[in-house]
Structure 1
Amino acid sequence: MIQETDGLPPSRRVWAMAAIAVSITLAVMDSSVANVALPAIASDLKVSPADVVLVVNAYQIATIMSLLPFSSLGEKFGHERVYRAGLAVFTLSSLACALSSSLEMLIVSRVVQGFGAAGLMSVNTALLRFIFPQKQLGRGIGINALVVASASVAGPPIGAAVLAVAPWPWIFAINLPLGVLALILTRFLPYTLRSNRRFDGASAVLSAATFGLLTVGVEQFTHGQSLWIVALFVLGFLICGALLVRRQAGRPAPLLPVDLLRIPVFALSIATSISSFTAQMLALVVIPFLFQHDLGLTAVQTGLLITPWPLVLIVVAPLAGRLSDHINPGLLGGIGLAIMALGLVLMATLPPEPSFVQIGWRMALCGAGFGLFQSPNNRVLLSSAPRERSGGASGMLSTARLLGQTLGATLAGLALGPMLGGHNGASLALALAAGVAGFASLISFSRLAATRRS
């Protein structure tokens, strides 16, 4: 029967969150764990470095294409069903990745793995609304943010550790026992609301085409593809996007949640999320170039100096989640993004020969600011949507994150490229990231007035 109580009992809640933690760790970690293995994969499969990059991009593109369709399926058939199905697909496709004997087979397996990951990410935060009581929702979102942050940091080191003792297929094979464990734990997930409406297959195809064309077009532009080919992708994106919006207009629960975007607090939270992740990705892409090219540091030193950002974020995110149960998330997010913008300004204006301490506390400041923003923003985004539209809100949350990261990577490529780059390209990019973070801070503060009007 449908769960009518406010959250799960505490004992079952622990096991449900264990299922969430293990499975979302796998999905987030696999977006970056293969990066360090690309040279080994290229050598083993006898392909060029340019071609092997598709192993990473195929996963990302498949994920962003299918987030909104899977969130809509979650609202119709139950979030926990979509979650289990996504986890099963992810686990089986991990085995296919490990057994791949050609680049083509590996890319197809990674596409399927990306679809499985989208099944997890699309309804992940929606499930939190049924696992935790409303008064503790911020705590649950804080824990989830901690898991996501930890997984995003853990990918490259875990990949390097596996490659030190085993060949590259084991990077994907380690998902199997953890995936099976998570599948067993999903029996503790709550039974969620179902909708009687029909699934809109045509809108699902248009949604996948819209976000797929946008992502591929951005990727082609970043890699120096001719402008007319990029223009074709952009034109396709605009056409499919216009058809999608037109088809969704007036529907009571559209796949593209235009109904939720009419809620001012929700729309402002989406805009804040896209802007903040743009700033974060832009900074994290260019900082290694700043350290190694401009400051002459080694790769090992670069890795150690980047660490304060995620480490402080991991500490601050769950604390911010608890605070958001008592303090307006718009205020917390605005303050956090202002702190992040200050940290980025200080990074852009480093002295010519900075000490490790001078770099480390600036990186920590950036991580603290982003951590103070992320959990409260996710809380207000999820709680501002009606309970029966939790799937749409969850899908938009993940879509906003991936869109922001894609835009940030594109801006980083422009800043470091021959058109805008140069000797101070990394510093200029950090200044731009600070400006984007400051803009996101203003959007977050504007939610205070929107909340009062609501």
Structure 2
Amino acid sequence: MRLFETRPGDDGLPGPERALAVLALITGTLMAVVDTTMINLALPTIAADLDASASRAVWITNMFQVVCAAFLLVFAGISELVTRRRIYLFGLTTFMVGALGAALSRNLEILLLFRALQGLGAAATLSIGPSLYRAIFPSRLLGSALGLSALVVAGGYAAGPTLSGVILSFVDWPWLFALNLPLGLCSLWLASRALPRDKPRQGSFDFLGALLSMLMLASFFLAMDAVGHAAPFWQVSAWVILSIASGTGFITRQRRAPYPLLPLSVFAEKRFTLAVSASGLAFIGQGLTFVALSFFYQEQMGFTPLETAWLFTPWPLAIMLVGPLAGRLADRINPSVLSSAGLVLLIVGLVALALVNESMGVVESLWRTALCGIGFGLFQPPNNREMMSSLPPERSANVSGVMSTVRTVGQSIGVALVGAALALGLAVQVTLWLGAATSFLALLASLSRMSYARRALVERQTSSCGK
């Protein structure tokens, strides 16, 4: 297989070791992604069994997401001091302990505690996943590697709801958590044997920056959640003020810290900054669309939650098919061109979805959803490659943390925008138009990156002629 061929001069791991290391990353990523999507579908069942209200049961998901979001940048920074391998092993172990505790929980409070532990473990593994792909694969295959990563994540999103429905048809909800244990043990064994052993960085850790980062991201997520649930204005305002204040403090600290958690100098590279901007805006559009369509399918078209999950399937399936191909092409073609083409398709698909009405059949919706998936699959791996390759390898952990944080923040904003729109009495189709608008902004960022690359090339050629 091309991904595991070794050529003279290749960096990264040799072919056989590369295969084992990738398998460790695949199983670990699947564990985190599938767990999230499975539990979302099972929330009504868990709430009924634990005698909890729907508003309290939502925190089974929220607790996981808040903790995961808060610690993404922190673990990316810690990995430089203790190595990515150790952080990944810690994350897998912590996630499995949390899953075991959640499976054995018999009241909501204990379950939330172990869900927080799962979120902590997921943050450790997801924050450094992309940087591990860069360490495992040679530079010539970076796009293909990130395409494989996109396939795994999309596969998890596609399989999670269906797997949850099947499991709950035969056994009780604790088995949803227990399913993580054999998968986690397999990933832990592979990771301990095959992940690269990088050298730790010398120097101190930015504890104040880490604290401010956690406050900034956790309060931001809680603000977005409050908006999505139409919370009182004072509650939303309090979380927003805390997020802005801690974010301001975080930026100030990063400018002064001798070993900053996130060196702000990485954003001086315009290719990286524009790729990050495009990614965040595209994830807002995706997060917004997923939630908006859930309401549309169930409340306006009368589908059950499980039927709704099936209607979403074309999106991740299309990413699974297109993502690896887009990643391979990104190793040969300008990634910005591929990303921009993918965003055009995504915008067309979102506009087409916004035009769907209750009288249209299932097929009318499915091809539109598939078109969105094709566009997103063509956009994401090349864009991730652009982010990774635009900075030196020693900044891989920082890039990885930013990638994971931007994805989480973007999806949270998307969910909050749907909630705010529905609270204002706007139609679901309006939010889909909003998703198309944010994706158009992502396209502008991607096109700006292409224009910047052309200007930089002209400047280099002019400089060479002058010499």
Tell me the TM-score range normalised by the shorter chain.
Answer: over 0.9
Structure 2: tracts of 5 or more residues without a match: 1-8, 458-467
C-alpha distance in 2 between matches for 1:305 and 1:133: 38
For residue 422 of structure 2, the aligned residue among 404, 413, 416 is: 416
Q: Could you say if the C-alpha distance between residues 46 and 351 of structure 1 is closer, same or farther in structure 2, counting changes exceeding 3 Å?
A: closer
Q: CA deviation at 1:385?
A: 1.8
| In structure 1, distance between residues paired with 2:116 and 2:303 | 36
TM-score of the superposition, structure 2-length normalised?
A: 0.92
Measured after TM superposition, the shift of residue 300 of structure 1 is: 5.2
Is the aligned partner of 1:88 residue 2:93? yes
What residue in structure 2 maps to residue 102 of structure 1? 107
Q: What's the CA shift string for 1:180-203, capped at 9, x where partnerless?
A: 110000111111242112111111
What's the TM-score, normalizing by structure 1? 0.95
Mapped pair 1:378 → 2:378: no
State the secondary structure of the residue aligned to 1:31: helix
Aligned length: 447
Query: Could you tell me how far 1:217 is from its partner in structure 2?
Result: 1.5
Higher deviation after alignment, 437-446 or 15-24: 437-446
Q: Determine the C-alpha separation between the residues in 2 that align with 1:212 and 1:29.
A: 22
- Per-residue deviation, residues 51-105 of structure 1 (Å, max 9, x unmatched): 1111100000000000001001112221111111111111111111111122111
Contact 1:32 1:155 in 2 (8 A): yes
Q: Report the residue type matching 1:302 in the other structure.
A: T
1:369-393 CA-to-partner distances (Å, cap 9, x unmatched) read 0000010111111111221111110
Q: In structure 2, give the amino acid aligned to 1:431.
A: W
Q: 1:155 to 1:75 in 2, by over 3 A?
A: same
Match of 2:127 among 113, 122, 132: 122
**2:334 pairs with 1:328:** yes
One-letter amino acid matched to 2:286: Q
Unaligned runs of 5+ in 1: none
Between 1:293-302 and 1:190-199, the stretch displaced more is: 293-302
- Is 1:348 aligned with 2:345? no
Contact 1:333-1:445 at 8 Å conserved across structures: no
Supply the AA of the counterpart residue of 1:43. Answer: A
Does the aligned pair in 2 maintain the 1:75–1:389 contact within 8 Å? Answer: no
In structure 2, what is the Cα distance between the partners aligned to 1:206 and 1:298? 42
1:263-278 aligned at under 5 Å gives the runs 263-278=269-284
| Structure 1 contact 253–259 (Cα < 8 Å) conserved | no
Query: How far, CA to CA, are the matches of 1:174 and 1:428 in structure 2?
Result: 39
Partner of 1:442: 444
- Could you say what the CA RMSD is over the residues aligned between the two structures, in angstroms? 1.6
Task: For residue 370 of structure 1, give the secondary structure of its aligned residue in structure 2.
Answer: helix
Q: What is the match of residue 174 of structure 1? A: 179
Over residues 126-147 of structure 1, what are the superposed CA-to-partner deviations in whole Å (9 max), with x where a residue is unaligned? Answer: 0011110000011111001100
More off after superposition, 158-167 vs 270-279 = 158-167
Q: Structure 1's 386 and 167: CA in aligned 2 closer, same or farther, altered over 3 A?
A: same
Residue 153 in 1 paired to residue 153 in 2?
Answer: no
Deviation, 1:415, is: 2.3
Specify the code of the residue in structure 2 equivalent to 1:386. Answer: P
CA contact (8 A) 1:252 1:259 kept: no
- In structure 2, what is the equivalent of residue 433 of structure 1? 435
Structure 1 counterpart of 2:6: none
Shift in alpha-carbon separation, 1:84–1:7, aligned structure 2, 3 A: same
Percent identity over paired residues: 39
Question: Residue 79 of structure 1 corresponds to which residue in structure 2?
Answer: 84
Pairwise CA distance, 1:352: 5.7
What letter corresponds to residue 159 of structure 2 in structure 1? A
Using the alignment, how far apart are the partners of 1:250 and 1:328 within structure 2? 36
Shift in alpha-carbon separation, 1:257–1:450, aligned structure 2, 3 A: farther
Partner AA of 1:91 in structure 2: M
User: Deviations along 1:281-322, whole A, 9 cap, x unmatched?
Assistant: 111111132233334455555333322221111100010000
C-alpha displacement of 1:249: 0.7
- Relative to structure 1, the CA distance from residue 257 to residue 158 in structure 2 (aligned partners, 3 Å threshold; closer, same or farther) is farther
